[in-house]
Structure 1
């Protein structure tokens, strides 16, 4: 009887924890990442701070997005104590990022050797895609 109760408890716990995976559970504990939209300035600044303080970050392609005529790569960034959606401006002259399409075939692909730069603008700063070594599907 007690083993049945333990089993049911584990199943309920598993179901509850899987419901929290809709976003990024680690980042929900971060007040800034948990309460702001991923494409907001404050979210992007906090995520950039976490990335620069981390020794190991993995990047995975999520989608391409266009906002007010500007193209962006939306990248899932995973560190030891955080995860979030990094928005990188795609320069018009870039041809490598064309390989990353907003399709099921590219979504979730790991981006090895992703490089980007912080670029100052009249409206603040933006993260701009620089280069990529290769893509692992």
Structure 2
């Protein structure tokens, strides 16, 4: 009987650890992320800050939704949707937009983006895999 109780407690403990890891990752994602660097396909074409073609932010919310905002030449465009955390060899965010928009940077779909978490405070767009710019974002809060 003691062995059964110990096995049950071990299973509960292991499951609670797994859930905490997922929760921590989502907590790390929630907040404001700002575009800090753009890299083109031409060597030495990296731009930062005000030198970039546009300014851009993502706001990720705890309920699994997000808002993407782009300011290009004083014209502000926004698009929203939901995100999912994908766990494979690297942490990946899959963004599903509610509508098409010219500010969606994607290789596969007009309503989906993929972002790779490089660290707790940096993520990279996968758009450069299909000749889009390399975009690097930093968590600002």
Fold-level similarity (TM above 0.5) = no
TM-score (norm. length: structure 1): 0.35
Larger relative contact order (Cα-Cα within 8 Å, sequence gap ≥ 6): 2
TM-score (norm. length: structure 2): 0.34
More strand by share: 2
